[in-house]
Structure 1
Amino acid sequence: MPDRPFHHGNLRAVLLDQAEAVLRERGLDGLSLRELAREAGVSHGAPRKHFIDRNALLDALAERGFVRLADEIHQAAAHAPDHAHALQAAGSAYVRFAVKEPALLDLMFAAKVDAPSEAVRTAAERLFAAMADIMSAGVEAGVYDASDVDRLTLVLSATVQGTASLIASRRITTSQGEGLIKDAITLFLAGASTAH
């Protein structure tokens, strides 16, 4: 069968969109560059112009996931009236992402942990920077000391990631996860106020 001609203006974006859909529907094992090329209607070699191999595709998916999650957290927290609501909004955004994209979340935090590419590492740092920005706003609001921001950012990140993982693995429901986030933030803020 002859190769079909390339006809997409932005094949990379098309392949990533399709790869996310496959990841949602069939999981990580269902991803193949050849199959994505077939579904995109391009030659089986066309994806290699953007992704040298399957691992490069997985890196790009993880990078895209970190960037999207960071943006969603930033947007959610930006509209909050105060720090407590910003924490809740960030936690809720994280949970929504976990519910919608459990396989992508797993790829981001489990499959790409060992020797991540520079792009994946940078994208992950963007997510943690979004969380740090929220914590820094708490410093400005007088909730925390500036010296606590790094530690509190890790605690917040671990809390929302752990809750998201429990939801994604169906150990708890989404509403239970939202309740856990709310309870954790209440304890988080109570602990911060007693530390002053």
Structure 2
Amino acid sequence: MSKIGYHHGDLRRTIVTAAVEAIGDSGLDGWSLRELARRAGVSHAAPAHHFGDKSGVLTAIAVEGFTLLADALEAAEPDLLDMGLAYVSFAVTYPVHFGVMFQPGLYRGDDEAVRKAEARAGDVLREGARAVTIPPSGPEHTTLAAWSIVHGFANLWLSGALRMPADTDPVQAARPVLRRLLEH
């Protein structure tokens, strides 16, 4: 086993973790592969070897994000309210992933792993929407309405645009908003 493999175990995981930290610290434009190598304690060539370029790193973050989102949605009660709250909780817990996932121009959207992870998350959300159809819409419109509301709320929360007290729990703040969607 190489010295790097011995010290770092899963080098890809180490680099993705370094990327999430770097993006969290400096934003989507404020990091480089060389910085990831420094943060991960590996040679400057290691990130490029494993991911090719920044887009490859962001693709790995998107895959991880969609997988984490699908896991969170599956862990929620199988109703639209709980799934919506799980979505907001995911966004607040994983803001870097959330920020990357919904900017497909940043990563390789045609990547098979991205497509599978994104489809899984979408399927779970659509399944939750099937239980609630808001007349006169069908389940596809309910899914789009629910996604639009929870995604918008999460973006507004993360940007600070909602201007709520610092000690406000974002999931609890989202609850009445999502209940409004479900009133019909």
Same fold (TM over 0.5): yes
Secondary structure of the residue aligned to 2:51 is: coil
Where in structure 2 are the equivalents of 1:97-176 lying within 5 Å?
Answer: 97-110=90-103, 112=105, 116-118=109-111, 119-136=113-130, 138=131, 148-172=138-162, 173=164, 175=168
- Give the structure-1-normalised TM-score: 0.75
- 1:168 Cα deviation after fit: 0.8
Structure showing greater Rg:
1
Distance 2:108 2:42 in 1: 31
Is the contact between residue 24 and residue 101 of structure 1 (CA under 8 Å) also seen in structure 2? no
What amino acid does structure 1 have at the position aligned with 2:64? R
Q: Over the residues paired in the alignment, what is the CA RMSD in angstroms?
A: 2.8
Q: Does 1:6 align with 2:1?
A: no
What amino acid does structure 2 have at the position aligned with 1:18? A
What amino acid does structure 2 have at the position aligned with 1:21? E
**Between Structure 1 and Structure 2, how many residues are aligned?**
176
Is the contact between residue 5 and residue 43 of structure 1 (CA under 8 Å) also seen in structure 2? no
- Give the structure-2-normalised TM-score: 0.80
Rate the CA distance shift 1:5–1:39 in 2: closer, same or farther, 3 A.
farther
Report what 2:47 is aligned to.
47
Structure having the higher helix fraction is 1
- 1:176 Cα deviation after fit: 8.1
Identity of aligned residues (%): 35
Rate the CA distance shift 1:156–1:180 in 2: closer, same or farther, 3 A.
farther
- 1:74 Cα deviation after fit: 1.4
